[in-house]
Structure 1
Amino acid sequence: PNPSDAADDDKRKMINEALEYMKFPADMPLKGLPVQVCFVGSCTNGRISDFREVAALIKGRHVAPGIRALAVPGSQMTARQCEEEGIADIFREAGFEWRLAGCSMCLAMNPDKLQGDQLCASSSNRNFKGRQGSPTGRTLLMSPAMVAAAALTGKVSDAREVFSLN
């Protein structure tokens, strides 16, 4: 967003604060922006359908060098299905760290946390300050397919282009 497009001073202030926190200039496109961490899962976008979709997209591919990619099923039932269907193996072979079902990076309840001002492509549902464990970490919310595209390219990418989807 651009603060000059805001309807009033409160909205302008809010946009300025968000841009400052995210370290983004106004009107900057996100496509092509480098990410350091990619997170698929949690209770939101951690369903079996999400993992099946991403597994189909990443099969035979690999996470970009230097990218930390994590996969966390939204429930124990989903985790069990992923193991039984070979989905967990596809993620592991692609370079994702496979985690037990739970909050993981979404809530930063364990060592799965952002460090410093890392930028994370995340399919979770919250991105407020400090949500993923670092007071300066930054989170971009996106679909599981978009997170997969970011993990493979190392940057915010259009999944339709990366995976030739139409």
Structure 2
Amino acid sequence: MSPSGEVSTGVIISDVIGKTQTIAIFSGLTRDIDSVSDRLDDASKNATVLAPDNEAMRGLQRKPWEDPEDYAAFGKNAYDGGDGEDRAHKNLRRFVEAHIVTQSPWEEGQRARTMAGNEVWYESKDGKKMIQPGGIEVISIADRVANGEVWIIRGALV
């Protein structure tokens, strides 16, 4: 985004998501999920990326590829072997896709779907944008480019 806040034309989300160090953990995960990396690399498909900052990623109660139900069903070795790797990848894909809103621009109060199929919206409270449900604060908009925006959020949509 230019200093004036204008949209960078010809530049797309996949060009800029890796340059913001405060979301390096999440941006790395977007490259591991084909459905997400394909969308962010497609200039004809707009998106709003709700990127948890590194602090939020480090503070997760469990890793993005873990699911308590997997441990209940398969025990402590739930992610061992080929089947375990498949479960972990499916969980990671669900986590990352839950942070990609399938539209941009995205207006306040407008309910939108993420790639994972979840319904989200945002509202302004006390001068801050809050992602709902969950009340997760939008710290800043890191970039505005031809196919969407990258928002840095202070939490994760889990």
With normalisation by structure 1, the TM-score equals 0.25
The structure with higher relative contact order (CA 8 Å, sep 6+) is 2
Q: Which has the higher strand share?
A: 2
